[in-house]
Structures are given as structure tokens and as C-alpha cells.
Structure 1
Amino acid sequence: MRILIAVAPLTAHLYPSIPLAWALQSAGHDVRVASNTGLVEQITAAGLTAVGLGERTSPPAPITDTELDRFSDALGFEAGSDFDQLWRATRYYLVAAYRRYHPDEEGRQELADNLVEAARNWQPDLVIWDPACPVGAVAARVCGAASARMMWGPDYFGWIRRRLVERINDPASAVSADTDPLAATLAPVFGRFGYDFSEDLLFGDFTVDPLPSQLPGPEGLRRVPMRWVPYTGAAPVPQWLSEPPSRPRVCLSLGVTGRTVHDGPDARVTAAFEAVATMDVEVVATVDAGQLGEDVRIPDNVRMFDYVPLTQVMPTCSAIIHHGGFGTFFAAAAHRVPQMIVMEELGSALSSTRYLTARGAGVALPSEGLTAAQVGDELSRLLTEPSFQRGARAVYADLTAAPGPGEIVPVLERMAAQYRARD
């Protein structure tokens, strides 16, 4: 069977799909992974065949407040409610994910065109696509392949759609099919290839979901549960990491993707460094120069690295401080490490934080107004209170309850045969 995996140009979206790609490849299937040229090196470094899609010919038009307000009005969440908070935390990213594949003013869209052309030429039997790469559904459609989404976090995309459908079907709502903001946003992506917006294109035939059942997705979708197997890149193990730490080791990681979002020093780094400077711990900080302020002093008990695979560091750690991304979250969870999430307004940290604290596996602090005293106090709790170890074991049990990537390969084989449109 030929399987094409299409991902948006972010490592946080690529890495969760790699263990599944390995499993499919090891079962004898022909697997290719398609994304922007910038990810080709990382795909091939993982031992997979890459399909470089180039880069978009021009940036998408800026997302306006009017466009976001149109979504907000259509969703109609009560101000201050849990759903309203979640929407505000994810709205810009979700709309931007769809807008990334809009054609430019001259009607060109290199990424979308190249992906569809690659599928048309190679004729895969199954296309597995990142929901932030909606043109993957088009690639499946044009060659008659089965179409599957591959999640890398909670199904915010499905959650928004279900809410909009509820509102469209509610006679008391002002939202209608004609004023559906999601359909309007995706119309240029689908319409470029001759397709109208539809639920089938939006969701594919089924969804591969690597999140524990304690983080449920919207109801009514075909889901294939899969264990999240952490992959965080590959590198030689440094000698110092081969030796057991002489005192509690703490990892500080704010994510690779975040470096492209934040412009300038990160106050969370400053607060963390000030906090650990007087503590009897060893800190491994995967932080680059751009995240440091000019006057930040690096404590003697901190090892600084631009990048170290978290899967190498986590087995030796007693705690981790991070931004709340699910790749980092599950890398720690796989080794039963208590966690501190310093969450931001944007991104998936709101969901990961709620799950973390509900299971008692860690603590959460807001990034705004963060102080060294707060970080120090909460880190001391993580390292000394047994309840956090029990919570970390509970998250680990949640994580490992689902079948591994190799175990779902026969399921994907059957579903691909069921849904593909050609012999």
C-alpha cells in the first residue's frame, strides 16, 4: 500500500506522525512524508522518504480583527466561559492554519499545488494529513485515496465545526450556512481545485487520534485511538547525559516552535534562571540566545543547549518546566516526570494545563507577571511532594492504555481498503 503523509511546516506537527510512519514502513508499506522544503531534512533524518513541496509564493493576507470577530460572533460563546477561553487561546492559530494554503493575489499556491500534484502522480492508497494542512483532504480526493486526519493535539478543528453546526441548525441563532465563517475561510483552498466546502473534506474518512481518552474529541467522528509515542529528533547522546545526575535534574524547554513566535527575550527564562540559581538542582535548559535577555545571568547549575532531544533528557529528570505544548507534555509523561507549565494566552497550553492539574501530575503558572519566587516555590513542591509522582504515574497509565502505532497498522489497512475510491 502507498501512504502519503502531509503535514504543515512545523516540527510540532511532524514529530507526532513519525512513529506511525515508521510502523507503516516496517509493515512493508511504501510511505512518503510531504511538507515544506524546510522540513525535508528532518523527515529524511528520521529515515523516511520526503516529498518537498517548496514554499508558498507569497505570504497570506493578514488575518484581520474583523475576520476573527466573524468567527467569534458565529460561535457565540458566553464571555469568560471555558469555551470562550479556549477559543481565545487558539483562534488566531486555527484561522491561520487554514489561511496558509490560500492562493495569492495572482492565484498561485505552490504548497497546495505541489501536494495535489504529488498525490495525482504517485497515486497513494491512503493520505494521512495534518488538520492544519487541509489541502491534504483535496490530495486524497483527487486520486481516490482514503483520507485520514492525524491529530497532534486536541481536536480544536472538529470542536469549532461542531459548534458552528449547532448554531447553524439553531433557528434562534443568526448563523446560517450562507454566513458560515469556516466554510468561507476554506472556500479558496477547496475551490482552487474545483471542490465545494463539505464535511467529508473537512474531516476525511476517519481520524487517527494519539491523545488519551481523558482528552476527548468531538462526538460523531470516526476515530482510531493510538498511543502517543514521543519522537523529539535524533542526536548522539552526550557523555554527561550518560552519567546519573548527582542531584535532582530539572529540564527547561519552551519548545522549538515558540522560537519563531516570540521576538526577543523570553521573561519565563529569566524567572526560571533566577529561581533555580539558589536551589540544589541541576538544570538542562534547551534555550537559544534569542530567548535570553542581554543582562540575564546563567547560573552555575544550568547547562545551556540550543537543542537536546527531550527523549534523551527526560529519563534522568525529576521535573520539567515548559510551555504546555503536547509534544513536550507527552515526552515528559512517557517517563512519569512531574511538570510545571508556564502557559501563554496562545496555543494548546490551556488544554494540557487542565489535563495536567486534573490528574495531579503538575502545576500551572500564567506567564504574565511571572516571578522567580513563584517558579521556585512551585518547583520545590514538584520535587518534594509525593502526590505529583502519583499524578505523573496516572498520566502515564492514560498514555499507555491506547494501542501503539504498530498495533493500529492492520486497522489502517482495513480502513484504507474500505474508503479508497478505486480498486
Structure 2
Amino acid sequence: MRVLIAVAPFTAHLYPSIPLAWALQSAGHEVRLASNTALAEQITAAGLTAVRLGDSPSGPPDIPQEELDRFSEALAFEPGSAFGRLWESVRFYVLLNCRRYYPDAEGQQPLADTLVEFARDWRPDLVIWDPASPIGSVAARESGAASARLMWGPDYFGLIQQRLAERASRSESHANPLADTLAPIFGRFGYDFSEEMLLGDFTVDPIPSQLPRPEGHRTLPMRWVPYTGAAPVPEWLSQPPSRPRVCLSLGVTARTVFAGQDERIAAVLEAVADMDVEVVATINPNQLGKDTRVPDNVRIFDYLPLTQVMPTCSAIIHHGGYGTAFAAAAHRVPQMTVMEDLGSALCLTPYLESRGAGVTLHSDGLTAEQVRKELSRLLTEPSFRQGAAAVYADLTAAPGPSEIVPILERTAAQYRTRD
């Protein structure tokens, strides 16, 4: 069969799709992976065929405050609560990703129009789409293909829709800002908002079942297989470390959406300077800053695949992204999350802590003393290794990508509307 995979224009969203694309391709299916032009090189470097959809908007789309306020009012979570803070953050990301597919001032939207046109011409049997790329739902309908989402984190879109539906059923609110947000995307091609358009026919979900998920939607669990790019293995990395190795990584998105010096790095480097550890930091010069002192026990790399580093590590310090956390979990590595109040970390860190796999520090007011104290615990207390093993068990409980290919074949045939 022909499978079109549509991904939002972020490396962190592309990487989780690569192992499934490999599995489908290895089973003999034709696979095309579509995203913005900037990601085409990374797609082809992974041995996959890229469909260039055009350039992304320069910089994050403008989001009027009234749109953000409508989400807050419609969701009505307790202000300041952990769940309330999560959705205060998530509403921004939902809007940001959706608005990348809005028509511009000239009425053009290459990321949307090119994908739909390609799907009409190529006629896939199955369209698998990133929930942050809702135009994938339209591409599936326009080509008569089965429509499936592939998660890269908890199902924020589904959870928001469930919350809005619950409130509407109690007559608390009939407002649906999610429908309003998606209307310009679906309406451009003659479709109205519906749960079917929002959620697809079914969802491929590599997120452990212990994390939040909406109810009542057909879900196909899949093991998260870490992919973090590829590069030649440095000679030093093939040798066992002589002392505990700690990785520092703040994610790919931090280099783009939140580009610039990261104040967390200085506190971490100061903390490890007098510790008997070796630190491998995958950060670039902009994140590091000009005046930050790098201790002798720290190696700085602009890029090094985490899947190469993690097998040799005793701990990792990161920002709370799912790709980073699960790359560590795949090797049973204890984790320190130095988080900001952003969507992924607010959902991920309670899970890691509940499994005993790590500790959480907040970026505001972060000190070297805090980092040193918690890192020492990660390296010396056996309970964190046990917790990391528990997360590994959660992660590997689902079938791998190659194991679900026959299910995808049958399900695509069931939902495909074109003979």
C-alpha cells in the first residue's frame, strides 16, 4: 500500500515518525514523508523519501490574546493548579501549530495546499499525520485514504476536545475554541469541524499508557523507538567512561523557537565543575553564551545523537521533552528535568517522578547548589535506577513498529473510502 506521513515543521515531531516509516518501508510499502522544505534533508538522511511542502512561516505565528483567553474560559481549569498550568501552556501550542496552516494575506498556504494536492495526485491508502499538522486529516479525506494520527506526546487535542464536550454536556459552556481554531483549515477545503476530522479514524500512540489520554477513541499502541539522527561515532565514545558520564541536552526546539542563551546552562556547568563526573553537553554556541565558563570535565558538542550517548550515561539533565526523556528511558538512565512551565514538561515530569525515575527542578531561580545536590542523588541512590527500569518497562510494553504493520494494513483497508 501507499502511506503518506505528514509532519509539522519541527525536528522533535519528525523524529518519532522515522521508526514507523522504516517499518512500513521494510515491509514493502511505498512511503512518503511530507513536511516543510527545511526538514527534507533530515528525512532523506534517514533513508526515506521526502515531499517538500514549502517554507514555514518566518517566526511563530501571531496569536491574538483574545484567542488564548477564549481557550482559558472554555476549559475553566482551576487557576494555578498543576492541570490548569498545563493547559495554560498547551493552549498556546495548539494555536501556534494550527495557525501555521492558515492562509496568508494573499490567500496562499503552501504547507496545507501542497500536501492536499500531493495526496490527491499520489492517492495514498493511508495518511498518518502529526496531530499538530491537522491538514493531514483533509489530505486523507481528499484522497479517499484511511486517516490516522501518530502521537509525539500526550493527546492534547483529544484531551481538550473531551474537556469541552464534558462541559457542554453539563450545559456549563457551549463554546468550542478548538473548532473555531480549526475552521479556517478545514473550511478552506469544504470540510466542517468534527471529532472525526480532529482525531482521524484511529490513533497510533507510542506514549506509555500511564500518561493522560482521552477516552473512547480507537488507539493502536506502539513502542516508542528512539531516533535522534545519525552521525559517525566519535572515537572517545567507543571507550567505557572512567567516571560517571552525565548528558546535558535541552532539545532541538530550544535552538529554534526559543533561540538564544539559556540561563539554565550556566547553573549546570557551575554545579558539575567540582564533581567527579564527565559531562557531555549537546548545546550550541548561542545557547551557551559568550561568557559562560566551560569546566575541564565538560565536552561541548553542537550535535551528537542521544542514542549514541545514552548507553554510556549514568544520568541525564534535560528540558522535559518526550524525545529526550524516552531516549534516556530506553537505556534505563535516571533523569533530571530542569523545566520551564511549558506543556511537555508539565505533563511528563509528574509521570517520571511517580515512577521514581528522576527529579525535577524549575528554571526560575535555578542554582548550582540545587543541581549539584539532586545530581548527586541521581548518581548514588539505587532507587532512581529502579525507577528508570520501571519507565523502560512502561515504554517497551507495547508492540514495536514492525509488529503493528499488519494491523495498519488491515485497518487502512477497513477505513479507506476509495476502491
Output the TM-score relative to the length of structure 2: 0.98
Residues 271, 205 of structure 1: alpha-carbon distance in 2 compared, 3 angstrom cutoff: same
**1:122 and 2:122 aligned:** yes
Residues 11 and 39 of structure 1 are in contact (CA less than 8 Å); yes or no, is this contact kept in structure 2? yes
Residues 322 and 348 of structure 2 are in contact (CA less than 8 Å); yes or no, is this contact kept in structure 1? yes
Match of 1:244 in 2: 240
For residue 314 of structure 2, the aligned residue among 296, 311, 318 is 318
SS of 1:348's equivalent in the other structure is helix
Residues 60, 214 of structure 1: alpha-carbon distance in 2 compared, 3 angstrom cutoff: closer
Residues 218, 371 of structure 1: alpha-carbon distance in 2 compared, 3 angstrom cutoff: same
| Aligned mates of 1:323, 1:216 — CA distance in 2 | 20
Residues 53 and 114 of structure 1 are in contact (CA less than 8 Å); yes or no, is this contact kept in structure 2? yes
Match of 2:135 in 1: 135
**1:11 and 2:11 aligned:** yes
The amino acid across from 2:62 in the alignment is P
User: What is the CA-CA distance between 1:94 and the residue it aligns to?
Assistant: 1.3
Match of 1:351 in 2: 347
| Aligned mates of 2:356, 2:266 — CA distance in 1 | 26
Match of 1:393 in 2: 389
User: What is the CA-CA distance between 1:347 and the residue it aligns to?
Assistant: 3.1
The amino acid across from 2:403 in the alignment is E
Residues 240 and 312 of structure 2 are in contact (CA less than 8 Å); yes or no, is this contact kept in structure 1? yes
| Aligned mates of 1:373, 1:95 — CA distance in 2 | 38
Residues 319 and 338 of structure 2 are in contact (CA less than 8 Å); yes or no, is this contact kept in structure 1? yes
Match of 2:163 in 1: 163
Residues 19 and 231 of structure 1 are in contact (CA less than 8 Å); yes or no, is this contact kept in structure 2? yes
Structure 1: tracts of 5 or more residues without a match: none
Residues 57 and 100 of structure 2 are in contact (CA less than 8 Å); yes or no, is this contact kept in structure 1? no
Q: Report matched runs for 1:94-113 at 5 Å.
A: 94-113=94-113
User: What is the CA-CA distance between 1:169 and the residue it aligns to?
Assistant: 2.1
Residues 283 and 300 of structure 2 are in contact (CA less than 8 Å); yes or no, is this contact kept in structure 1? yes
The amino acid across from 1:42 in the alignment is Q
**1:257 and 2:273 aligned:** no
Residues 217, 6 of structure 1: alpha-carbon distance in 2 compared, 3 angstrom cutoff: same
For residue 275 of structure 2, the aligned residue among 275, 279, 283 is 279
| Aligned mates of 1:274, 1:249 — CA distance in 2 | 16
Q: Report matched runs for 1:54-93 at 5 Å.
A: 54-56=54-56, 62-93=62-93
Match of 1:376 in 2: 372
Pick which of 303-312 and 102-111 moved more: 102-111
Match of 1:362 in 2: 358
The amino acid across from 1:219 in the alignment is E
Match of 2:34 in 1: 34
User: What is the CA-CA distance between 1:56 and the residue it aligns to?
Assistant: 4.5
Percent identity at matched positions?
Answer: 74
Q: How many residues align?
A: 419
| Aligned mates of 1:60, 1:96 — CA distance in 2 | 7
Encode CA deviations 1:333-356: one digit per residue, 9 max, x unaligned: 000000000011123011110111
What's the C-alpha RMSD, in Å, of the aligned pairs?
1.1
Residues 8, 112 of structure 1: alpha-carbon distance in 2 compared, 3 angstrom cutoff: same
Residues 321 and 340 of structure 1 are in contact (CA less than 8 Å); yes or no, is this contact kept in structure 2? yes
Residues 203 and 219 of structure 2 are in contact (CA less than 8 Å); yes or no, is this contact kept in structure 1? yes
Encode CA deviations 1:234-270: one digit per residue, 9 max, x unaligned: 1010100000101000000000111113243111100
Residues 57 and 110 of structure 1 are in contact (CA less than 8 Å); yes or no, is this contact kept in structure 2? no
| Aligned mates of 2:353, 2:219 — CA distance in 1 | 26
User: What is the CA-CA distance between 1:61 and the residue it aligns to?
Assistant: 5.4
| Aligned mates of 1:139, 1:330 — CA distance in 2 | 30
| Aligned mates of 2:296, 2:164 — CA distance in 1 | 53
| Aligned mates of 2:137, 2:110 — CA distance in 1 | 16
**1:232 and 2:242 aligned:** no
For residue 418 of structure 1, the aligned residue among 392, 411, 414 is 414
Residues 86 and 342 of structure 2 are in contact (CA less than 8 Å); yes or no, is this contact kept in structure 1? no
SS of 1:365's equivalent in the other structure is strand
Regions of 4+ moved over 3 Å: 56-61
Residues 16 and 327 of structure 1 are in contact (CA less than 8 Å); yes or no, is this contact kept in structure 2? yes
Output the TM-score relative to the length of structure 1: 0.97
Residues 60 and 99 of structure 1 are in contact (CA less than 8 Å); yes or no, is this contact kept in structure 2? no
The amino acid across from 2:243 in the alignment is R
